[in-house]
Every structure is written in C-alpha cells, then in structure tokens.
C-alpha cells in the first residue's frame, strides 16, 4: 500500500528530481512524497505530475516498481497545494 504524503517544505526552491517523470523541478512550500505504509519514502512528485491525478501517479509508480507488486495509492489528506501555473 502506497500513500501520498504531504510535508511542509522548510527549504523552498530546492531542486528535486520527480519520482514519476524524472524531471528536475523546484519544490514549493508543500512537498508531496510517495511512501509506503511503513513511512518509507520512495520520492517526490512534481506539480505537473500531481495535476495528472492519483490514478496516473499510481500507474506510473506501478510501472517503476516490479509488476508483480501492484500498489494502490491512497489519499490520506486533502491535496490543497498552492500550485502556481
Ligand atoms: Zn513529474
């Protein structure tokens, strides 16, 4: 079981590679992390990927992981992230 976790980013404007599209992006004040139910972090998601929705992110993470280990992303919090266009 994978989860989307939102954390407050104390170091804004830090550059980070996106887990799902591998592009370098500048993090906003809220960062979204994909993690499992043990709290292990897999990586962070850039705003454009985030806009594609949970189903898309879930599919992408499944592609990145072993096909036999299908994961489901469960939204644990409301995604209220200020995304600048
Ligand atoms: Zn991305």
- Position 10 scores a pLDDT of 80
CA of 55 to the centre of ligand 1 (A): 14
* Average pLDDT of the segment spanning 57-76: 71
Question: Could you tell me whether strands 73-75 and 2-8 are parallel, antiparallel, or unpaired per DSSP bridges?
Answer: parallel
Among residues 36, 38, 28, which one has the least CA distance to residue 7? 28
Task: State the Cα–Cα distance between residues 47 and 66, nearest whole angstrom.
Answer: 25
Beta bridge partners of 46: none
Q: Break the chain into its structural domains and give their ranges.
A: 2-75
Q: How far is the CA of 38 from the centre of ligand 1 (A)?
A: 23
State the CB neighbour count (10 A cutoff) for residue 60: 19
Residue 69 CA to its chain's centroid (Å): 18
Query: Does the global pTM surpass 0.75?
Result: no
Identify the pLDDT of residue 80: 64
Segment 49-65 shows an average pLDDT of 86
Q: Cα of 37 to ligand 1 centre, how many Å? A: 22
């Amino acid at each position: 079981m994978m989860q989307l976790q939102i954390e407050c980013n104390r170091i804004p404007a830090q550059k980070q590679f996106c887990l799902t599209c591998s592009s370098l992006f500048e993090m906003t004040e809220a960062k979204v992390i994909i993690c499992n139910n043990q709290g292990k972090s897999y990586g962070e998601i850039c705003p454009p990927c985030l806009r594609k929705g949970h189903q898309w992110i879930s599919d992408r993470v499944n592609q990145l992981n072993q096909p036999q280990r299908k994961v489901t992303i469960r939204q644990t919090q409301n995604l209220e992230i200020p995304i600048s266009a």
